[in-house]
Structure 1
Amino acid sequence: MDSCSVAHVHQLLLFLSLASFCAVLSSGYLIHDSYAEEILSAAHQDKDWLISVRRRIHEYPELAFQEHNTSALIRTELDKLGIPYTYPLARTGIVAQIGSGSRPIVALRADMDALPLQELVEWSHKSKIEGRMHACGHDAHTTMLLGAAKLLNQRKHRLQGTVRLLFQPAEEGTAGALQMIKDGALKDAEAIFAVHVDYKTPTGAIASISGPFSAAGCIFVAKMIGKGGHAAEPNRNVDPVLATSFAILALQQLVSRESDPLYSIVLSITYVKASVALNVIPSYVEFGGTLRSQTTEGMYHFRQRIKEVIEAQAAAHRCSAHVDMKEETFAPYPAVVNDNKLHLHVKRVGQLLLGPENVREAKRVMAGEDFAFYQQVIPGAMFGIGIGNEEVGSVHSPHSPFFFLDEGVLPIGAALHTAIAELYLEDNQHSFVQ
């Protein structure tokens, strides 16, 4: 073959390679140059509406399984948009659906409940319900998902499958996700995504991680029962205060002596309660706290050890003990463990919409999240969305009475939800016969 023919072959191969590369781009994340601008622009056009929705939810916070007004607001907005939904699931939950109704099916989840906390931030849309506050950003999660519903509905002709939107009650300690699953919220969905506001990440950025993200956790209460009497005659009594003290110290030794140093375990005694008489040994002492583990297996192992240690210390000090893990009202939460493929999807979409410099590696946290229940059924990924902004005072941690939200996050979250779902369907539609 002469040099001219070789050159032509090289040019042809180069052309085919470029054509193949462009084809991949056109069928994947970089659909066209204006894709990110298109979605972000549409989301920002809805910013005033999003802020209005969020403030209405924030002013009237509702606790677990009591989110009746919040649920009604969401349904009213879905009705205006003409988006079909199923209600109720888990008492107050809603599942809306947009797209063809066929597979692939991807789910997006937002939690709706507030906390029994008095808001101490003075602003015009402060909670109007005494002793209740949206101090964990669930009002923002709900608003961002509702914003995504609007955008996805506008773009439903592009959806190559189905997006299922889960508006979930009772995340805060009462496992609303578990009830949503039992009521059929997931059905044949194959993947699920969720965001959580993150005050340590600046507004306009996200943080994601593969593998363990948040901890498995449970609560416990114990009653150490002895024999009360006058403090001047301890020999005639059976002291539950002493037994409780030894039990608490022994529980802390579980972490230092029985847990793998490479895995995080946090065991916290958060209250101790006995009589207040200074000259009387009480007949019993109540105490309790929380257990958190980086792994679900670790949490279940140490739940059992907590019971064994308390009962053994009671016996050693001539007391009896009753340990209650409160499973009926506070189900143990598994650990949130992000699927690597879905984490990479979040990362790529985030880079596309926000730029590579605004996609960060998330730090693992020892807080619990009932999103983990969904991940026990299908692959899932939860990521943090930044709300950090000193100028507006969005610098306080969740569950603080001073928690405040940078509302600039709302259109960003709506756009991210939209792109994550839309591009997931496009990337996975070849896996199913339509």
Structure 2
Amino acid sequence: MSSSSSSFKFKCFQCFFMLHVFAATSILSDNSSFNNFLDSAKSPEVFDWMISIRRKIHENPELGFEEFETSELIRSELDKMDIPYKHPVAITGVIGFIGTGLPPFVALRADMDALPIQEMVEWEHKSKIAGKMHACGHDAHVAMLLAAAKILKHHEKDIQGTVVLVFQPAEEGNGGAKKIVNSGALENVTAIFGLHIAPELPVGEVASRSGPILAGSGRFEAKISGKGGHAALPQHSIDPILAASNMVISLQYLVSREADPLDSQVVTVSKFQGGSAFNVIPDYVTIGGTFRAFSKQSFNHLRQRIEQIIIGQAAVHRCNAIIDFLDEVKPGYPPTINNGDLHEDFVNVAVNMLGINKVNSAVTPSMGAEDFSFYQEVMPGYWFWLGVQNALHKRLESLHSPYLEINEDGLPYGAALHASLASSYLLKHQQNVPGVERRYHGEI
């Protein structure tokens, strides 16, 4: 626990009649409040500071579970705002708290890690670390959550519960969210919201949906062992290349012949390594790839069948196969499934803030994956896309591109939505408990 969190002092909790609660929280409950949050996020005081944070993080990208400088920067800013926090959580993670310290608890999440990509954009704040880049916008995610914290801290006396700020490490394949969940740091949180920048979506627009929005994603790697020999005398060898080739073909039937056409699934073999000479049959071949589905049932079925096919085809071709789903190295991600009630809350907040024409509430699901899904396995969760389209560029780069550029004018919308979603949720689920003192709960 940080020195800041140990200094988190609570005053006596006072119970008000419902009329008084609504009067005290009028800034959070009427439609104008959403615009007030957006106005605050767009003010030079917040906007310029938020952009400077984003650019500082962009210049110094860190990979998963290595976000030590990013974590230090976050804690420094929280200290300046007198926001208590826990650290370390999941190695580099930071969990902050704003509000009464009492239920209900609602969480806002931002991921912190960069990617092993060399930035190709020449600009004043280009990555200073060779081979590392914030090519997925997590620098913007951190900046927006800090800005939301600044806004919420200003209205802390009106917050009916506790907002939990989750600065999470290692989203990019390492399952940092799973470590946060396993730490117990969010034990009593009853809902969590997260967002992700969308470079193809115009500034001021958002997109999401109820139910599945991103697929579950798993990896597999298999070593197929045979018996090497001269390519001119195949009868003296056991060819692992032939066995692996049949595996690749057979794996494609999982989607085309076994899956319901209305249940989108993917099996892709993206790695095939074996042999180094034209006239030599190798001793072994390695193949690997990914599988994805929108339901846990379909996801688990694919995993089971991939193993059966690889082991079975190896036996047919007199080879041996060892398959690894890499759970210990990079755990598979469950499907990201948005809670229906939180979807209604999101639509209400977003429409009030942005206007009905700026909210796509039935976006087409994507086969991409997000470890935000680990939170959704233990509590209601909601995840949405935020527009940061750079209209000045003719070519729109996708996430994970070394040429990715985002429009920083989109960041105030993310900060304001964070603040509005949290405060609105707490207002809706407020709990008045007479005679209970406010106190810090070690596990929330």
Pair in the same fold by TM > 0.5: yes
Take 2:337 and 2:27, find their aligned partners in 1: how far apart are those partners?
24
Alignment partner of 1:385 is 2:386: yes
Q: Which residue in 1 is equivalent to 2:70?
A: 70
- Secondary structure of 1:289's match? strand
In structure 2, the partner of 1:200 is 200
Q: 2:42 aligns with which of 35, 41, 44?
A: 44
Counterpart amino acid of 1:235? Q
Aligned to 2:32: 34
Give how far 1:432 is off.
Answer: 6.7
Find the aligned partners of 1:326 and 1:34 in 2 and give their Cα distance: 49
1:201-254 Cα offsets, whole Å, 9 max, x none, are 211111120000111111011111111111111111111111110000000111
Indicate the residue corresponding to 1:237 in structure 2.
237
Cα displacement string for residues 94-145 of structure 1 (whole angstroms, at most 9, x for unaligned residues): 0000000111111111100111111111211111111111111111111110
Structure 1 residue 34 displacement after superposition = 3.2
Name the residue aligned to 1:60: 60
Per the alignment, residue 109 of structure 1 pairs with 109
What displacement does 1:199 show? 2.1
Change (3 A) 1:104 1:276: same
Aligned to 1:20: none
CA distance 1:172–1:76, shift in 2 (3 Å): same
Match of 1:19 in 2: none
C-alpha offsets along residues 364-421 of structure 1, whole Å, 9 cap, x if unaligned? 0111111111111110100111112321578211111112111111111111100111
Instruction: Report the residue type matching 1:42 in the other structure.
Output: S
Q: Which residue of 1 aligns with 2:430?
A: 429
Match in the other structure for 2:280: 280
Q: In 1, Cα distance between the equivalents of 2:185 and 2:213?
A: 23
Q: Deviations over 1:252-300 (max 9, x none)?
A: 1111111111111111111111122111111111110111111122111
Q: Greater Rg, structure 1 or structure 2?
A: 1
Contact preservation (8 Å) 1:28, 1:423? no
- In structure 1, distance between residues paired with 2:85 and 2:396: 36
Q: 2:114 is paired with a residue of what secondary structure?
A: coil
CA separation of 1:367 and 1:431: change in aligned 2, threshold 3 A: farther
* Equivalent pair of 1:159/1:425 in contact (CA under 8 Å): yes
- In structure 2, the CA distance between the partners of 1:393 and 1:189, relative to structure 1 (3 Å rule), is farther
Contact 1:25–1:31 (Cα < 8 Å) also in 2: no
Shift of residue 30, structure 1, vs aligned partner: 7.9
Amino acid at match of 1:362: V
Q: State the secondary structure of the residue aligned to 1:201.
A: coil
Whole-Å separation in 2 of the counterparts to 1:254 and 1:24: 55
The percent of aligned pairs where both chains have the same amino acid is: 48
Aligned to 2:13: none
Q: Which residue of structure 1 aligns with residue 301 of structure 2?
A: 301
Correspondences of 1:181-220 after superposition (within 5 Å): 181-220=181-220
After TM superposition, give the deviation of residue 430 of structure 1 in Å: 5.0
The TM-score with structure 1 as length reference comes to 0.91
- What is residue 404 of structure 2 aligned with on the other side? 403
For residue 392 of structure 2, give the secondary structure of its aligned residue in structure 1: helix
Work out whether 1:311 is the aligned partner of 2:314: no
Counting matched residue pairs gives 412
Conservation of the 8 A alpha-carbon contact between 1:388 and 1:394: no
Question: Matched residues in 1 for 2:344 and 2:23: separation?
Answer: 16
Q: What per-residue deviation string (whole Å, max 9, x for no partner) do you get for residues 319-348 of structure 1?
A: 111111111011121111100110111111
**Is the 2:200–2:396 contact (alpha carbons within 8 Å) kept by the matching residues of 1?**
yes
Separation (CA, whole Å) in 2 of partners of 1:179 and 1:171: 10
SS at match of 2:199: strand
Label 1:30 to 1:80 Cα distance change in 2 as closer, same or farther (>3 A): closer
5+ residue gaps, structure 2: 1-20, 437-444
2:347 counterpart residue number:
347
Answer whether contact 1:29 1:349 (CA < 8 A) is retained: no
Question: What's the CA shift for 1:32?
Answer: 3.8
Match of 2:418 in 1: 417
Q: Is the 8 A contact 2:25 2:159 kept in 1?
A: no
Distance in 2 of aligned mates of 1:282 and 1:199? 45
Q: 1:56 to 1:330 in 2, by over 3 A?
A: same
TM-score normalised according to structure 2 size: 0.89
Distance change >3 Å, CA 388–CA 367, structure 1 → 2? same
- What letter is aligned with 1:248? V
Answer with 163-172 or 39-48: which moved more. 39-48
The residue type equivalent to 2:304 in the other structure is: Q
Alignment check: 8 A CA contact 1:177 1:370 kept: yes
Mapped partners of 1:127, 1:266: distance in 2: 34
CA distance in 1, matches of 2:47, 2:135: 21
| Amino acid paired to 1:198 | A
> Which residue does the alignment assign to 1:135?
135
